[in-house]
């Protein structure tokens, strides 16, 4: 009896892994009551059940655990974004949880000149959902080869910003947005490619943006290198340099209380 049961469960386990889910976190499209955000990273975590599939009521440590388990992504790369995420929430029940819907609050983390979403603009633009027309710039980047890299990511950032400057009179384009956008480029190159080179197969990146799915069936595996601010730094340095960025709008300077100093490394994400 016992060997039979063992082989029965072994057969289930091996057939499951032979199909598509070695990580035991299957992809399920969100239902009508589930919340999603403008962030393909967090949406993917929810679609695979690393975050609640409802997209609701999770904490910063929940995000950190999910990012590590799903992407081998270290907390230091996303902690500031996560803290800003809490500020977008309007919940009195718990000041320590957040949900995906409110993350679309314009100019908190959500910003103009995105890779796959329209600008908020005058409030009529859909800044939440994936848009293939917007994504075409990235989809068609680095022609002639089957991978994206820091140079192509830089060119995409340049082109998306130029489009927003040309079409959105309300564009917000300060150092803050530039830091966020460069981090987002570093993240898709590292998670879906080699975190040490920033070279990422186009197919993996496109499935991530279009379907908010881990491209496991297509051959992607979780990076074996832990992605940290240190591994992102050389990739983002190229992205920043080659995107020829300049601020076109400004925000007021942070004024420090006397005697306080700013930890620049932390401020720069
Ligand atoms: C878990 C790892 C994460 C990954 C892989 C990731 C990845 C990305 C990427 C690639 C984008 C760019 C989307 C685009 O330009 O179309 C993005 C945007 C965004 N992310 Fe994340 N992110 C992560 C964590 C977070 C966290 C912790 C927050 C805040 C709680 C956050 C909030 C956002 C928001 C609000 C946007 C929209 C920005 C925009 O307007 O384009 N993300 N993220
Ligand atoms: C999230 O928390 C809010 C406020 O407590 C509650 O109304 C809602 O039902 C919760 N959502 C889920 C999916 O548990
Ligand atoms: C997608 O974006 C394009 C370019 O901004 C816009 O013209 C189009 O209406 C958008 N599509 C949807 C379904 O929002
Ligand atoms: C990215 O790929 C393109 C096309 O092969 C190449 O010209 C460029 O030098 C690469 N950039 C980096 C940073 O490797
Ligand atoms: C950035 O500027 C350099 C020097 O003018 C130019 O060669 C390069 O093509 C520009 N990059 C982008 C993405 O426009």
Structure confidence at residue 1 as a pLDDT band (50, 70, 90): very low
Are the beta carbons of 212 and 179 closer than 8 angstroms? no
Count of residues in the chain: 269
Residue predicted with more confidence, 265 or 148: 148
Identify the H or E element spanning 163: helix 150-167
Residues with C-beta less than 6 Å from any ligand 1 atom: 37-42, 63, 67, 73, 78, 81-82, 85, 103, 109-111, 114-117, 127, 184, 187-188, 191
pLDDT digit string, tens, across residues 138-187:
999 999 999 999 999 999 999 999 999 999 999 999 999 999 999 999 99
Averaged pLDDT for residues 34-53: 98
The secondary structure of 77-119 as a DSSP string is GTHHHHHHHHHT---SS-TT-B-SGGGG-BTTTB-SS-SSS--
- Percent of the chain past pLDDT 90, that is, above it, reads 82
**Mind listing the pLDDT tens digit for each residue in 119-136?**
999 999 999 999 999 999
- In angstroms, the Cα distances linking 180 to 102, 115, 206, 211 are 18, 12, 20, 22
How far apart (Å, rounded) are the C-alpha atoms in residues 58 and 75? 15
Residues touching ligand 5 (Cβ under 6 Å) are 154-155, 158, 242-244
Mean pLDDT value across residues 81-92: 93
Q: Which pLDDT band, with edges at 50, 70 and 90, does 79 fall under?
A: very high
* Per-residue pLDDT at 188 exceeds 90: yes
CB atoms within 10 A of CB 67: 24
- Ligand 1 center from residue 42 Cα (angstroms): 7
CATH 1.10.489.10 is held by the domain 29-268: yes
Q: What is the pLDDT of residue 149?
A: 99
Q: How confident is the model at residue 103 (pLDDT cuts 50, 70, 90)?
A: very high
**Phi/psi zone of residue 55: left (φ > 0), alpha (ψ -120 to 50 degrees), beta?**
left
The answer to whether the Cα torsion of 43, 120, 111, 188 is positive or negative is: positive
Task: Say what the pLDDT of residue 265 is.
Answer: 36
Q: Give me the phi and psi of 148, to 5 degrees please.
A: -100, 155
Helix (H) or strand (E) holding 201, with range, is strand 200-201
Kind and range of the H or E element at 148?
A: strand 147-148
Distance 184 CA to ligand 1 centre (A): 6
Residue 38 pLDDT? 98
Mean of pLDDT values over 192-202: 98
Domain ranges of the chain: 29-268
The reported pLDDT for the residue numbered 93 is 82
Closest ligand 5 atom to Cα of 157? 13
- Considering every ligand atom shown, identify the ligand nearest to the alpha carbon of residue 159 and give its number: 5
Is the minimum distance from the CB of 57 to ligand 2 under 6 angstroms? Answer: yes
Tens digits of residue pLDDT in 231-262: 999 999 999 999 999 999 987 665 556 665 55
Pocket test for ligand 2, best of 36, 52, 57 (most atoms within 8 A of CB): 57
- Tens-place pLDDT, residues 202-237: 999 999 999 999 999 999 999 999 999 999 999 999
Ligand 3 and 118: CB distance under 6 A: yes
Supply the residue whose CA is at minimum distance from atom 6 of ligand 3: 133
Q: How far apart are CA 171 and CA 155, in angstroms?
A: 19
CA 31 to ligand 4 center in whole angstroms: 40
For the chain, state the CA radius of gyration: 20
Report which ligand 4 atom has the smallest distance to the Cα of 150. 13
* Helix (H) / strand (E) containing 12: helix 2-19
């Amino acid at each position: 009896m016992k060997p039979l049961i063992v082989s029965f469960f072994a057969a289930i386990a091996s057939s499951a892994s032979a199909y598509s889910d070695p990580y035991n976190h299957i992809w399920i499209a969100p239902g009508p009551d589930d919340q999603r955000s403008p962030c393909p990273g967090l949406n993917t975590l929810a679609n695979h059940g690393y975050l609640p599939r409802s997209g609701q009521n999770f904490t910063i440590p929940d995000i950190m655990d999910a990012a590590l388990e799903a992407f081998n992504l270290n907390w230091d790369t996303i902690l500031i974004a996560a803290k800003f995420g809490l500020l977008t929430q309007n919940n009195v029940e718990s000041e320590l949880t957040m949900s995906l819907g409110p993350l679309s609050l314009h100019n908190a983390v959500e910003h103009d000149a995105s890779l796959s979403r329209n600008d908020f603009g005058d409030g009529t633009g859909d800044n939440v959902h994936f848009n293939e027309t917007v994504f075409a710039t990235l989809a068609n980047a680095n022609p002639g080869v089957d991978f994206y890299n820091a140079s192509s990511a830089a060119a995409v950032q340049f082109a998306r910003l130029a489009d927003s400057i040309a079409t959105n009179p309300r564009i917000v384009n300060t150092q803050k947005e530039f830091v966020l956008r460069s981090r987002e480029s570093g993240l898709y190159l590292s998670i879906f490619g080699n975190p040490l080179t920033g070279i990422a197969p186009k197919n993996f990146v496109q499935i991530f943006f279009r379907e908010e799915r881990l491209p496991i069936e297509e051959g992607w595996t979780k990076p074996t290198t832990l992605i940290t601010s240190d591994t992102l730094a050389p990739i983002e340095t190229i992205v920043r340099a080659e995107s020829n960025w300049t601020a076109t709008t400004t925000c007021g300077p942070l004024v420090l209380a006397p005697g306080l100093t700013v930890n620049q490394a932390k401020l720069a994400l």
